[in-house]
Amino acid sequence: MSVVASAPQHQRIGVASLIVGPALMSIGDLLHPAETWDGPAQVAIIAETASRWFTAHLLLLIGLLLFVPGILLLTDLVERRWPSSAYVGFPVKDTVES
Range of the domain at 39: 3-97
Number of domains, the chain? 1
Q: What is the pLDDT of residues 75-94, one digit of tens each?
A: 888 777 766 665 665 555 55
Does the pTM surpass 0.85? The reply is: no
Looking at residues 47-58, what average pLDDT do you find? 94
More confident: 59 or 73: 59
DSSP 23-79: HHHHHHHHHPPP--S-HHHHHHHHHHTHHHHHHHHHHHHHHHHHHHHHHHHHHHHHH
Q: What is the pLDDT of residues 26-35, one digit of tens each?
A: 999 999 988 8
